[in-house]
Structure 1
Amino acid sequence: MNKVSEAPDERVRRRTKEPAEPWRSVRTGLLGRMMFLLLPPVVVGLAGVLLVQLVISRFEISGVVIPKPTDVFAVMRSDIFVEQVGQSTWETWKATLIGFVLGAGSGVVLGALMGESRTVRFVLYPYVVAFQSLPKIALAPMCALWLGFGLTMKFSFAAMLAFFPAVIATQAALSAVPESRLEMATAFHAGRWQRFCRVSLPSAVPGIVSGLEISMAFALIGAIVGEFVAPSAGGLGQLLLTYSEAINVAAEFSVLAVLMLLGVLQNTILFGVLRLGTERFFESSR
C-alpha cells in the first residue's frame, strides 16, 4: 500500500507512535522512570558544581569567601558533621511538619470560607493581608515571652509562614471554578454543601495542592527563623549559627546544602502523597 492510498488515521498513528517508542522504553518500569526523572537534574547539578570548582580554582578565590565544593563535600563526609546534622535535621523537620499541618490546615479552611462566601472574604481578607505584611522576626520577642524558646516557638513561626500561601491558593482556586459547573449543579437541585463537595472542591484541588507546596517550603523557612531566634532549641538553624560564629564557611555551606536537599525531599514527598490521594480530583478537573 503506498502513502497516497494509505488510510489517514493509520498515517497519523504511525507518525505519533514511532518517535515516542525510544522514550517509552526508557520510562518502562520503576527503575527506568526514576532514572528518567532524576538523571537530568543530577547532571545539571554536577555540571554546576564542576563549574564553581573551576572558577574558584582559576581565580584563586579565598575559602573564607566561597569554599570549594570539594571542601564542602569533605565536611559533609566527616563523622562529626553527619552525627550533628542527623539530630539537627530531625529537630528542624519536626517543627516544620507540625507548623505546616497547623498553618496550612487552618489556611485551607479559611481560604475555603473566603472562596465560598463573599461576606467572609470582604471582612477577613484585609486582616489576612495585614498579618502577612508584618515582618515575622519582629514578633520574636513576644513569641519568646508567650511560648518560650522550645519547639512550640519554632513550629509557631513555621505555621505563620505556611498560613498565607494556603489561604490565597485555596481562595483563588475556589473562585476560579467555572460558573457552568455550578449552574449545572444548581439545575440538578444540588444544595450549597453538595455543590461545594462535589463540584467546587474537586475543581479546586490542583490549585490547593500548588499552594500547599509553597506552604511547605515556607514552613521550613519559618522553622529555621525560629531556630535563629531561639538557638537553644536546636536544629539546623542553630547549627548554622554555630558554624557562622566559628567562621567555618565550608561547614556553613554544608548545612545550606542539607537544607536545600531537605526542602526538595519534603516537597517531593508532599506532592507525591497529595497527588496520589487526589488523583481522581485531578482527572475530574480537566
Structure 2
Amino acid sequence: MTTAPRIDTDAVRPVEPGPAPAAPPTASRLKPESFTAGIKAVVGLVGLFAIWELAVFIFDFPKYLLVGPISAFEELFTNPGYFAVNALTTLQEGLAGFALGTALGVLCGALLYYASFLRPFLYPALIAIDTIPKVALAPLFIVWFGFGFESKAFVAMAIAFFPLVINTFDGLNSVPHELQDLARINRASKLKKMMKIDFIYALPSIFTGAKISISLAVGGAVVGEFIAGSKGLGYVILLANSQVDLPSMFAAFIVLAAIALLLFFIIDLISKKLLPWKNYTK
C-alpha cells in the first residue's frame, strides 16, 4: 500500500506582496516644482535689475548714455496708457506673424519630409531665403502690402517661419523605425499613420520650434515698425531715440521683454497640457 507523498509545509510560505508600482507623477506633484521654478525666475530678474541699477549708480553714467531700471519703470508707470496701446499693436502684429509662420513652417517641414523628391531643391532654397537679413526684406513687404498692419505681420512671419520648418522636419524624421514598421504591419493608411504616429511623435519638436519662433515674431514686428511704423513699440523706440529719451526707450525694452517672456511661457504651458508624458522625463 502506497502512501501519499508528504508535503513539507515549512517550505511552502506565502508570497509576500512586493512594493506597489510607483504612481506616475500627477499635476499636484508637479506644481511645487513649477512654483519653485517661478520663484527662481523672479529672483533672477530682480537680481538682474539690481545689478543694472547698481552699475548705473557706481559708474554714474550720463543720462544720455544709460539709465537704470528705476528710471525706466518710473517712465512706464507715468505713461501706462501710451505704452499699453503701442504694446497691444506690437502684440497683435507679432501674434499674426507667429500664426502665419507656424502654419507655413509646419506645412513646409511636412512637405520636406513626405515629398523627399523635392528635398534637394526646396531645402537649399529655404536656407538661402533664411540667410537674407529680415531688415532687408521689410521694405519689400512694405511695397507689397503697404504701411499698415499687414506688412509688419509678414515681417514677423518671415522671421518666425524657419525654426518651425527645421523642427517639424527633424521631429518627423526622428520617428522610430519600430513605429513605422508597426503601422506597415497593421496596414495603416498614410493619413492615419501621419496623424496617429508621425505628428504625435513630432509634437515635442514642433513646440520647441514654436517657443523659439514666438519671441522672434515679436522682434519681427518691431523690425517692421522700425522701417515704416506710426505706432507700436518699435515706433516708441525710434521716437525715443530721436529725442534722446532713454527712460522711454528702456521702458519699451522692458515691455518687449515682458511680452516675449509671457508668450514663451504660454506656449510652454500649452505644450505641457497637450504633451503630459514629456513632463515626466528626468
1:151, 1:145 → 2: CA distance? 13
Counterparts in 2 of 1:65-80, with a 5 A limit?
65-78=65-78
2 CA distance for matches of 1:88 and 1:147? 21
Q: Which residue of 2 aligns with 1:92?
A: 90
Deviating more after overlay: 142-151 vs 258-267? 142-151
The structure with more helix, counted as a fraction of residues: 1
Say whether the 8 Å CA contact 1:107–1:163 is kept in structure 2: yes
RMSD of Structure 2 on Structure 1 (CA): 2.6
Cα deviation 1:184-232 (Å, max 9, x = unaligned)? 2111222222221111111111001101111111111110001001122
Structure 2 CA distance for aligned equivalents of residues 29 and 122 of structure 1: 44
Instruction: Give 1:285 shift.
Output: 11
1:176 is the counterpart of 2:211: no
* Runs of 4+ deviating beyond 6 Å: 27-30, 283-286
- Distance in 1 between the 2:33 and 2:243 partners? 44
AA partner of residue 245 (structure 1): S
Checking the alignment, whether the CA contact within 8 Å between 1:92 and 1:224 is kept in structure 2 is yes
Q: Give secondary structure in 1 for the equivalent of 2:261.
A: helix
User: In 2 relative to 1, CA 113–202 (structure 1 residues): closer, same or farther, beyond 3 Å?
Assistant: same
Structure 2 partner of 1:19: none
Check the 8 A contact 2:164/2:206 in 1, yes or no. yes
Contact 1:228 1:241 in 2 (8 A): yes
1:95 CA drift (Å)? 0.7
- Within 5 Å, give how 1:250-269 maps onto structure 2: 250-269=247-266
Question: 2-side partners of 1:141 and 1:219: how far apart?
Answer: 17
Using the TM superposition, name which of 41-50 and 150-159 deviates more. Answer: 41-50
On the 8 A contact 1:143/1:153 being kept in 2, the answer is yes
Once structures 1 and 2 are overlaid, which stretch shifts more, 115-124 or 175-184? 115-124
Alignment check: 8 A CA contact 1:205 1:282 kept: no
- The alpha-carbon distance between structure 1 residues 254 and 280, as it changes in their structure 2 partners (threshold 3 A), is closer
TM-score (norm 1): 0.83
For the Cα contact (< 8 Å) 1:203–1:281, is it kept in 2? no
User: Structure 1 residues 138, 178: CA separation in 2 closer, same or farther (over 3 Å shift)?
Assistant: same
Q: TM-score, normalised by structure 2?
A: 0.84
Any stretches of 5+ residues in structure 2 without a counterpart?
1-15
Q: What pairs up with 1:28-39 in 2 under 5 angstroms?
A: 35-39=35-39
